[in-house]
Amino acid sequence: MSRRLAPPGAACWQALSGRPAARYDHRLMAKIRVALAEDNVLLREGVSRLVSANEEFELVGTAPDLPQLLALVREQLPDVVITDIRMPPTGTNEGIQAAAWLHENHPDVGVVVLSQYTAPAYAMALLEHGSAGRAYLLKERVASVDELARAIRAVAQGGSVIDPLVVDELVRSRSGQQQPGMSSLTPRESEILAEMAQGKSNAAIAASLSVSERAVEKHTNSIFAKLGLSEEKDLNRRVKAVLLYLAEGKGG
């Protein structure tokens, strides 16, 4: 059974897609086990306190860099990893690397990447291996206990969260393009985009809507063209199309 998108009206986050919520149910499990990776001592201490203060969560350990994070995951196998996007040893994209490693080795572990960057490229890199159980949250949201807690819960259940400021940045980057946008999509195209936003492949969409995979491909290409994404790589334009879909819903 596919997961339905959560209504995109929350103030500081947007659910993107998800997988069946089989791993965490607050009625059945006492705690979501959380591991934290952050090289900034003050921020690491602050996030640790926020997590530990929430009775739904159990902080199983912290790490200051990528190698120690991976060792912590192997030892504790948490439900969710919260990680800075940049930390030692290179200070580039260790959070993205961690998410990719978890996808290959522990696919059921959710990841919340904390970042100061609104550029959509970072969020798209995080979603490269799939959106289920992945969140991209700006560090300024950490000050809000509710926003961080929502992201942790969402990825623990296989959902996805993208900070709306990242979506806004994508929309602004397209503001100069003369594209008809969402309003030009046909009912069938809108239906297919909604299925795409749940992380489904063309084959899965075809099965869900009882149409041929070739028909889905045709409609998908039309969606990309109308949204001004025809020249993008297929993965990039699928993720961008979903982000724009969320942006439209957020504004409605």
Domain membership of residue 3 (yes or no) is: no
Q: Are residues 51 and 153 in the same domain?
A: yes
Q: Do 88 and 94 form a contact (C-beta atoms < 8 A)?
A: yes
Strand-strand pairing, 14-18 and 159-162: antiparallel
- What is the identity of the amino acid at 230? S
Q: Give yes or no: residues 179 and 223 share one domain.
A: yes
- Identify the residue whose tokens are 């959380």: 34
Cβ-contact 239, 17 below 8 angstroms: no
177 three-state secondary structure: coil
pLDDT of residue 65: 97
**Model confidence pLDDT, tens digit, residues 132-146:** 799 999 998 887 788
Any domain includes 20: yes
Tell me the pLDDT tens digit for each residue of 75-119.
999 999 999 999 999 999 999 999 999 999 999 999 999 999 988
Q: What is the pLDDT of residues 163-219, one digit of tens each?
A: 888 877 876 765 555 455 788 899 999 999 988 877 788 999 999 999 999 999 999
Cα gap 117→89, rounded to integer Å: 19
Q: Is residue 4 part of a domain?
A: no
- CATH number, domain with residue 232: 1.10.10.10
Last residue of a domain, one of 166, 201, 227: 166
The answer to whether residues 178 and 233 belong to one domain is yes
pLDDT over 70 for what percent of the chain?
79
Q: Are residues 34 and 158 in the same domain?
A: yes
| Residue 55 shares a structural domain with residue 130 | yes
Dihedral (CA of 11, 17, 22, 23) sign: negative
Give me the mean pLDDT over the 220-225 stretch.
91
* pLDDT for position 163: 87
Give domain status of residue 7, yes or no: no
Q: Residue 68 belongs to a domain with what CATH number? A: 3.40.50.2300
Domain boundary among 144, 166, 188: 166
| In a domain? residue 88 | yes
Residues found in the chain? 252
| Average pLDDT taken over every residue of the chain | 82
Alpha-carbon separation of residue 246 from 102, 145, 194, 216 (angstroms):
26, 23, 10, 20
pLDDT at 24: 46
Residue 49 host element (H or E): helix 41-53
Residue 88 structural domain: 14-166
Beta partners for 32? 57
Helix, strand, coil abundance in the chain, percent, nearest 5 = 50, 15, 35
Q: Is residue 1 part of a domain?
A: no
Q: Which amino acid is at 154?
A: A
Four-CA torsion 146, 81, 4, 149, nearest 10 degrees: -10
